[in-house]
């Protein structure tokens, strides 16, 4: 179980990282083509005129997908920030219970958000909504990624609550400390 | 529900959720849902979905993960160590020594990046570990970073000035130019304060840590070369017309990869490490932004900011009194909203007042940015504080305390700007004299 | 009484927004006991790309957007942006009349109702250097933001470059883009004289905004309120078309006053773009199929 969950978070995290790499590659192609055209025009030959179609919209969608797909992995690696003024001052057992309750509240919110984004994606699918730019991207695709990321995040938050109640202290440290 | 009860409820929800230790993005989500209780007929789920969706899929925002990634690569390369080792002998006699790297680094990075979160994260990822390693006091390192990270908004390019310029139909080029002098002055104020603090309280600085490098100045300067190359490459790509400010962030990543490779470091494992770390930090910040966008939408539906602004309008204040009232108003809003939200939610009510009082709208834009900068470092909702908590693991309230002197300097800058409007207006007037 | 929130994309001072403010005043005045509309302009509540779906999905009952934003969903929404098809207010009105039934049908399928639609001033050519003939445009970078502007650029021998609206001043100043087509109104709003020097009154096309309402929210209102809204909408449309013509004159003069060289295009430019327009109209007809052919037929027959 533990292994399966960690694998799930990691896979979603890799997908998220892949989205960032995709942004990098697309923008690099665009800027590279612009540089090439500069060179070609100054040599007096015709420019290629290449541009990544719909880059701004697609880049935005990739960022959204990356953000939400990475939520669970970010939680598991304790990178989401929180204020721990109160929790760190409590004795161990009450703190674990409070952490568990807070993780459950978080899970409820994330579950609600999962439902909301899934409904949004379903509606976009039903109506065949597409984006406005040079490439008509079906909106259900990126919106589905957001919903999927939130679903994994919900699972991770429940996982977090179980860990806290069972006395495992994973969440009480502070960020990536320096 | 009357506006007073609603305000109390919203504030209680936010402080309650944060105090219990709910993660910030989720705490903002909860706060927004509480605010929406005042309009029970609205479809909460759909509002949430649309807000999350439109806030997280913004093209302007894509520069953020790229700059974070660039910082992670540099952090894993020799560049940051070399940079500090190279600067140390050069700054030996300057009171405050390497703390100034935070300020100057942020001011330079601000000329590449339009956001304060990216500025704070990228510079902080490189500088904080180096300053700590060298024994500088945490508080001055963190405070100066949080304060000067806000320069990302004032020194062009600036996302918030674009939003403001579009809202009030002012020239974005003029607004950009108007931000330059106040930005530089602010950086100088910060440096002056750091120098003064270091002189008055020598324990803030390590005793002799910076003199270990017994190199010639030339050799030291050579160590700085890769960093200079990186900065010139990115700035040059924007101002030379090769890349938009958003695209330039990718150029930063590419140059950072090349430098790290050329210096012989960066194995594939390190590359993957840096990428995954960037993915997580960017998800953390963007998710908070999504929560903040939901709060903004909920606030728009409740009409709270609009009503507060309308109340100020009804007071019939004199120009200076109005300015004072607006500063207080934005500072209160700034505790709960991010800067761009404050601008879009209130301009339609406030701008007629500002216009009527005879303020120049370009000048007011610069004033507004400085006030928003202050909002970036006030808890509980202050994005620079969030970013630094992510970097250091320290609590936002402790970080805010370390940052308080820099908040004061920003307030001083507001006063200076009010007394000397030409600080903002001189450059645009001179450079666009035809119009 | 029902509270209606109305998101709009443009800032308060824009002439579309002034027109909408008056529309809302009239509705609130006439039907204030049944419905009270609050305008949230400048994308402060909902961002432009999400306004249509937000009205459809019941987040807000009413909103404004650029008609051609929907042209990827259904090409018939893009006919007002086919270059050089309708190049005067008179022609634009005819084109609107021809397009309206198809628009209403497509909107109706999503439970939306068209209230009124008002054109922007005609699109002209902005450049950093003087352009005397088609050949002068050869190889210049041209701002493209959708399919038809991309096709236009290519047909004129220019390099289409994607520039976001907020990036325009920087892109011109740093040389990433050298020409664009937009209205004199947008030129004034963005203070175009700070970053470019020439404007040619091409009258290339007159894109329109529209105000739409969620049908079930509308029908939930008492009949008198519905009537009041329809009446105010009719008046807003008439008023808006007039305001747009006045806006054209006012903003073109403002461009001149601020030092932009405002000129009529040369005959070579005119005929060159006219030819491109014909090709692009054919391309649009192919894309829009039967519905498109019907619109063009109705337009040319009127
Ligand atoms: Na900046
Ligand atoms: Na704040």
Residues C101-116: tens digit of each pLDDT: 999 999 999 999 999 9
Work out the average pLDDT over C38-44: 93
Instruction: Note the pLDDT tens digit of each residue in C227-240.
Output: 999 999 999 999 99
Q: Encode burial over B130-141: b for 16+ CB neighbours within 10 A, e otherwise.
A: bbeebebbbbbb
CB contact under 8 A, C170 and B245: yes
Contact assessment for residue A153 and residue A80, using Cβ atoms and an 8 Å cutoff: no
- Which residues, 6 or more positions from C75, have their beta carbon under 8 angstroms from its beta carbon? C284, C287, C288, C289, C291, C292
Work out the average pLDDT over B343-348: 83
Measured distance CA(C261)–CA(A139) in Å, rounded: 42
Work out the average pLDDT over B131-142: 93
CB contacts of B241 in chain C (<8 Å) are 174-176
Contact assessment for residue B50 and residue C46, using Cβ atoms and an 8 Å cutoff: yes
Query: Which pLDDT score, from 0 to 100, does residue B93 have?
Result: 83
3-state SS track over chain C: CEEEEEECCCCCCCHHHHHHHHHHHHHHHHHCCCEEEEEECCCCCCCHHHHHHHHHCCCCCEEEEEHHHHCCCCHHHHHHHCCCCCCCHHHHHHHHHHHHHHHHHHHHHCCEEEEEEEECCCCEEEECCCCCCHHHHCCCEEEECCHHHHHHHHHCCCEEEECCHHHHHHHHHCCCCCEEEECHHHHHHCCHHHCCCEEECCCCCCCEEEEEEEHHHHHCCCHHHHHHHHHHHHHHHHHHHHHHHHHHHHHHHHHHHCCCEEECCCHHHHHHHHHHHHHHHHHHHHHHHHHHHHHHHHHHHC
Candidates B162, B179, B244, partner chain C, best to mutate (most C CBs within 10 A): B244
The mean pLDDT value of chain C amounts to 95
Task: Compute the distance from residue C112 Cα to the ligand 1 centre, in Å.
Answer: 42
| Residue C64, φ and ψ in degrees, nearest 5 | -120, 145
Query: Which domain does A67 fall in, by range?
Result: 2-177
**Which ligand has the minimum distance to the alpha carbon of residue B154?**
1
Contact assessment for residue C195 and residue B165, using Cβ atoms and an 8 Å cutoff: no
Measured distance CA(A177)–CA(B392) in Å, rounded: 5
**If we measure between CA atoms, which residue out of B142, C93, B323, B382 comes closest to residue A177?**
B142
**If we measure between CA atoms, which residue out of B406, A51, B429 comes closest to residue C143?**
A51
Work out the average pLDDT over C36-52: 95
CB contacts of B284 in chain A (<8 Å) are 74, 79-81
DSSP codes of every residue in B67-101: HHHHHHHHHHSSHHHHHHHHHHHHTTTSTTTTHHH
Q: Encode burial over B4-39: b for 16+ CB neighbours within 10 A, e otherwise.
A: eebbebbeebbbebbebbbbbbbbbbbbbbbbbbbb
- Band (pLDDT 50/70/90 cuts) for residue C219 is very high
Task: Compute the distance from residue B384 Cα to the ligand 2 centre, in Å.
Answer: 9
CB contacts of B59 in chain C (<8 Å) are 164
Query: Which pLDDT score, from 0 to 100, does residue B208 have?
Result: 62
Query: Which pLDDT score, from 0 to 100, does residue A176 have?
Result: 40
Collapsed DSSP state (helix, strand, coil) of residue A130 = strand
Tokens standing for residue A125: 């699918």
Distances (CA, A) of B256 to B222, B226, C45, C133, C214: 17, 9, 39, 45, 51
Query: Which pLDDT score, from 0 to 100, does residue A17 have?
Result: 98
Measured distance CA(C96)–CA(C217) in Å, rounded: 26
**A131 contact B CB<8A:** no
Task: Compute the distance from residue C9 Cα to the ligand 1 centre, in Å.
Answer: 25
Q: Which of A40-54, A159-173, B349-363, C39-53 has the highest mean predicted lDDT (pLDDT)?
A: C39-53
Computed from CA positions of residues B302, B314, C16, B365, in that sequence, does the dihedral angle turn out positive or negative? negative
Terminal alpha carbon distance of chain A: 32
CB contact under 8 A, C42 and B300: no
Tokens standing for residue B336: 């709960």
CB contacts of A68 in chain B (<8 Å) are 52, 56, 283, 287
Task: Compute the distance from residue B219 Cα to the ligand 2 centre, in Å.
Answer: 43
Number of domains in chain A: 1
Instruction: Note the pLDDT tens digit of each residue in B31-61.
Output: 999 999 999 999 999 999 999 999 999 998 9
**Min distance B212 CA to chain A CA atoms (Å):** 22
- Band (pLDDT 50/70/90 cuts) for residue A172 is very low
Contact assessment for residue B283 and residue C23, using Cβ atoms and an 8 Å cutoff: no
Query: Which pLDDT score, from 0 to 100, does residue B263 have?
Result: 86
Length of chain A counted residue by residue: 178
**Complex prediction ipTM:** 0.95
Query: Which pLDDT score, from 0 to 100, does residue B353 have?
Result: 87
Work out the average pLDDT over B200-222: 72
Restricting to A residues 146-165, those with a Cβ less than 8 Å away from any Cβ of C are none
- Band (pLDDT 50/70/90 cuts) for residue B435 is very low
Measured distance CA(A159)–CA(C272) in Å, rounded: 66
CB contact under 8 A, A47 and C139: yes
Asked whether residue A30 carries a pLDDT value surpassing 60, the answer given is yes
Asked whether residue A177 carries a pLDDT value surpassing 50, the answer given is no
- Band (pLDDT 50/70/90 cuts) for residue B214 is low
Q: How remote is the C-alpha of C182 from its chain's centroid?
A: 10
Instruction: Note the pLDDT tens digit of each residue in B305-323.
Output: 888 888 888 888 999 999 9
Distances (CA, A) of C121 to B226, C86, C238: 51, 12, 15
Contact assessment for residue A134 and residue A59, using Cβ atoms and an 8 Å cutoff: no
CB contacts of B176 in chain C (<8 Å) are 169-170
CB contacts of A27 in chain B (<8 Å) are 66, 246-247, 250
Contact assessment for residue C204 and residue C87, using Cβ atoms and an 8 Å cutoff: yes
Instruction: Note the pLDDT tens digit of each residue in B250-274.
Output: 999 999 999 998 887 788 999 999 9
Asked whether residue C90 carries a pLDDT value surpassing 80, the answer given is yes
Measured distance CA(C281)–CA(C287) in Å, rounded: 10
Tokens standing for residue A161: 């609550």
Contact assessment for residue C62 and residue C4, using Cβ atoms and an 8 Å cutoff: yes
Smallest Cβ distance to A51: which of C57, C69, C161?
C161
Query: Which pLDDT score, from 0 to 100, does residue A32 have?
Result: 94
Task: Compute the distance from residue A1 Cα to the ligand 2 centre, in Å.
Answer: 41
Measured distance CA(C236)–CA(C232) in Å, rounded: 6
């Amino acid at each position: 179980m533990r292994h399966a969950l960690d694998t799930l978070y990691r896979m979603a995290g890799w997908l998220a990282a892949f989205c960032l790499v995709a942004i990098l590659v697309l923008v690099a192609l665009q800027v590279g083509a612009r540089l090439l055209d500069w060179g070609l025009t100054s040599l007096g030959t015709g420019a290629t005129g290449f541009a990544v179609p719909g880059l701004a919209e697609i880049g935005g969608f990739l960022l959204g997908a990356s953000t939400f797909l990475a939520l669970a992995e970010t939680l598991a690696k304790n990178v989401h920030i929180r204020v721990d003024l109160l929790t760190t001052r409590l004795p161990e057992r009450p703190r674990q219970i409070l952490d568990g309750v807070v993780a459950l509240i978080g899970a409820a919110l994330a579950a609600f958000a999962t439902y909301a984004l899934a409904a949004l994606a379903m509606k976009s699918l039903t109506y065949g909504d597409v984006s406005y730019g040079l490439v008509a991207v079906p909106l259900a695709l990126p919106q589905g990624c957001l919903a999927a990321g939130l679903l994994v995040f919900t699972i991770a938050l429940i996982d977090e609550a179980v860990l806290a109640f069972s006395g495992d202290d994973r969440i009480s440290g502070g960020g990536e400390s320096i | 529900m009357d506006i007073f009860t609603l305000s109390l409820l919203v504030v209680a929800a936010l402080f309650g959720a944060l105090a219990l230790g709910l993660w910030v993005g989720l705490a903002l989500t909860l706060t927004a849902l509480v605010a929406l209780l005042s309009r029970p007929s609205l479809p909460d789920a759909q509002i949430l979905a649309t807000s999350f969706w439109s806030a997280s899929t913004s093209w302007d925002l894509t520069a953020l993960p790229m700059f974070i990634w660039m910082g992670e690569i540099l952090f894993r390369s020799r560049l940051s160590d070399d940079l500090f080792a190279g600067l140390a002998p050069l700054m030996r006699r300057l009171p405050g020594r390497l703390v100034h790297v935070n300020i100057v680094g942020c001011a330079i990075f601000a000329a590449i990046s339009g956001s304060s979160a990216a500025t704070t994260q990228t510079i902080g990822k490189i500088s904080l570990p180096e300053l700590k390693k060298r024994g500088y006091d945490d508080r001055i390192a963190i405070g100066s970073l949080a304060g000067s990270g806000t320069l990302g908004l004032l020194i062009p390019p600036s996302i918030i000035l674009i939003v403001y310029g579009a809202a009030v139909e002012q020239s974005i080029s003029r607004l950009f130019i108007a931000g330059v002098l106040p930005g530089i002055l602010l950086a100088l104020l910060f440096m002056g304060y750091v120098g003064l603090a270091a002189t008055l309280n020598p324990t803030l600085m390590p005793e002799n840590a910076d003199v270990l490098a017994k190199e010639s100045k030339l050799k030291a300067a050579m160590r700085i070369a890769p960093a200079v190359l990186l900065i010139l490459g990115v700035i040059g790509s924007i101002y030379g017309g090769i890349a938009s400010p958003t695209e330039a962030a990718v150029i930063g990543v590419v140059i950072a990869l090349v430098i790290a490779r050329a210096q012989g470091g960066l194995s594939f494992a390190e590359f993957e490490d840096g990428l995954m770390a960037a993915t997580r930090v960017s998800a953390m910040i963007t998710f908070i932004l999504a929560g903040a966008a939901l709060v903004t939408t909920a606030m728009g539906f409740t009409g709270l900011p609009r009503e507060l602004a309308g109340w100020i309008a009804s007071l019939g204040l004199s120009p200076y009194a109005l300015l004072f009232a607006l500063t207080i108003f934005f500072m209160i809003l700034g505790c709960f909203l991010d800067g761009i939200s404050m601008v879009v939610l209130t301009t339609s009510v406030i701008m007629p007042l500002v216009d009527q009082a005879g303020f120049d709208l370009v000048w007011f834009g610069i004033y507004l940015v400085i006030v928003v900068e202050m909002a970036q470092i006030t808890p509980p909702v202050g994005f620079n504080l969030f970013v630094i908590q992510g970097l250091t693991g320290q609590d936002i309230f402790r970080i805010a305390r370390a940052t308080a002197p820099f908040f004061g300097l920003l307030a001083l800058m507001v006063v200076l700007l009010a007394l000397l409007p030409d600080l903002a207006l001189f450059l645009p007037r001179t450079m666009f004299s035809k119009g | 009484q029902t509270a209606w929130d109305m998101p709009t994309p443009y800032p308060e001072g824009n002439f579309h927004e002034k027109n909408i403010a008056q529309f809302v005043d009239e509705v609130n005045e006439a039907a204030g006991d049944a419905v009270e509309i609050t305008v949230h302009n400048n994308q402060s509540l909902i961002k432009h790309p999400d306004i249509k779906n937000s009205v459809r999905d019941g987040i807000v009952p009413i909103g404004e957007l650029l008609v051609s934003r929907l042209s990827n969903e259904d090409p018939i929404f893009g006919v007002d942006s086919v270059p050089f098809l309708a190049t005067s207010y008179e022609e634009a009105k005819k084109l609107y009349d021809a397009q309206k039934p198809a628009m209403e049908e497509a909107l109706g399928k999503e439970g939306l109702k068209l209230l009124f639609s008002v054109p922007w001033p005609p699109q002209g050519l902005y450049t950093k250097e003087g352009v005397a003939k088609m050949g002068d445009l050869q190889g210049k970078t041209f701002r493209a933001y959708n399919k038809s502007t991309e096709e236009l650029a290519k047909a004129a021998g220019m390099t289409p470059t994607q520039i976001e609206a907020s990036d325009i001043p920087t892109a011109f100043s740093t040389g990433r883009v050298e020409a664009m087509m937009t209205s004199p109104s947008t030129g004034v709003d963005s203070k175009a004289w700070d970053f470019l020097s020439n404007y040619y009154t091409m009258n290339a096309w007159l894109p329109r905004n529209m105000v739409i309402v969620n049908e079930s929210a509308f029908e939930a209102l008492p009949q008198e309120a519905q009537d009041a809204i329809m009446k105010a909408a009719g008046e807003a449309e008439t008023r808006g078309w007039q305001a747009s013509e006045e806006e054209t004159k006012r903003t073109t003069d403002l461009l001149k006053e601020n030092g932009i060289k405002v000129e009529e295009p040369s005959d070579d430019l005119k005929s060159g773009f006219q030819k491109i327009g014909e090709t692009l109209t054919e391309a649009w007809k192919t894309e829009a199929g039967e519905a498109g052919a019907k619109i063009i037929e109705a337009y040319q027959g009127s």
